[in-house]
Structure 1
Amino acid sequence: MATGLIRKARIADINAIRKILQLFAAKGELLARTMAELYSLVRDYYVYQEDHNSPVIGVSALHVCWEALGEVRSVAVLEQYQRRGVGARLVETCLSEAITLGLERVFVLTYRPDFFARFGFEVVDKNILPHIVWADCVRCPKFPECDEIAMLLKF
């Protein structure tokens, strides 16, 4: 089980976050982020390290979309560290923050519904999500033929 440290991302983490996200974007598993986006969204991100001096090996983000709606996004753990609970801890951290912020619902767009179902997310029709959710999608190479699965968790 993952016993490392999760903390809010800092400006100094942006390059490491971008490299991890690029690995998964190259495989079509998540949306790539530009440096400008990462700097502007740095407060959304969490990073995982095995200890204070080790490199970042996992990331996640909680993005507030609308009044009581948030999105868990950019959950990525370097392949050699997967299946150790790192991703689960990152998602749990995002969900804890969502509760603290007073969000009533959190969604994900994913290719791994079984993973998110463990946290109580349920598959929903993408059309129930507000249009503001799709702002990033126009940059996706799969737009408008999105094949991700929408899942929703209500608190």
Structure 2
Amino acid sequence: MAGIRKAKVQDADFIFKILQSYAIKGILLPRSLNNIYENIRDFFVYEIDGEIAGVCSLHVFWEDLAEIKSLAVLEKYQNQGIGKELVKRCIEDGKTLGIKKIFALTYVPKFFENLGFKIVDKSEFPQKVWTECIHCVKFNECSEIPVLLNLEDVK
């Protein structure tokens, strides 16, 4: 059996490990275990036969803006559409919550463009969005690309 579900508190250690494995490679920004626990309700996990194969979160910033964060799929499960399904679930969640726009900061903009996101300028987002960036080791040399999906354009 395979499918997406909301993360449980018991998943936090594994979520931390998968995110940390990509953070060490410089592919994702690191998140502390404490941060994962504090935001566990934001996370979805993709499970295959009881094993978590991938994770993704949707973090609400304001009444009309949310961010897709921490998208990661275990290497052995990559290129099977799991990341795409996780992002689609976050989009559905955003619609349910009444969010108007979802953005992501990514090193792989093409992946998001294939899901309807558009590359945009960072200046389109309110200052609050960048509060986490200030603490990032890559702050002054950030090469992440902002992408945006207007949910009013999504059927």
Shorter-chain TM-score bucket reads over 0.9
Letter in 2 for 1:132: K
Deviation at 1:138, TM superposition (A): 2.0
Give the Cα separation in 2 of the matches to 1:6 and 1:133. 27
Counterpart of 1:50 in structure 2 is: 48
How many positions carry a matched residue from both structures? 151
* Correspondences of 1:137-152 after superposition (within 5 Å): 137-152=133-148
Give the Cα separation in 1 of the matches to 2:116 and 2:46. 22
C-alpha deviations, 1:60-107, integer Å up to 9, x for none?
000001120000111100111100011011000000000000000000
Query: Displaced runs of 4+ in structure 1, greater than 4 A?
Result: none
Match for residue 75 of structure 1 among 67, 71, 75:
71
Letter in 2 for 1:49: E
C-alpha deviations, 1:115-153, integer Å up to 9, x for none?
101111000001111111111112221012211000000
Match of 1:116, SS state, is helix
Q: Is 2:116 the counterpart of 1:116? A: no
Match of 1:25, SS state, is helix
Match for residue 96 of structure 1 among 80, 89, 92:
92
C-alpha deviations, 1:33-59, integer Å up to 9, x for none?
1111111100000011113xx221200
Where structure 2 has 5 or more consecutive residues not aligned to the other structure, the ranges are none
Give the Cα separation in 2 of the matches to 1:59 and 1:140. 21
TM normalised by structure 2 equals 0.94
Deviation at 1:12, TM superposition (A): 0.3
Counterpart of 1:4 in structure 2 is: 2
Give the Cα separation in 1 of the matches to 2:133 and 2:27. 13
Counterpart of 2:18 in structure 1 is: 20
Deviation at 1:28, TM superposition (A): 1.1
Q: Is 2:35 the counterpart of 1:37? A: yes
Give the Cα separation in 2 of the matches to 1:64 and 1:36. 18
TM normalised by structure 1 equals 0.94
Where structure 1 has 5 or more consecutive residues not aligned to the other structure, the ranges are none
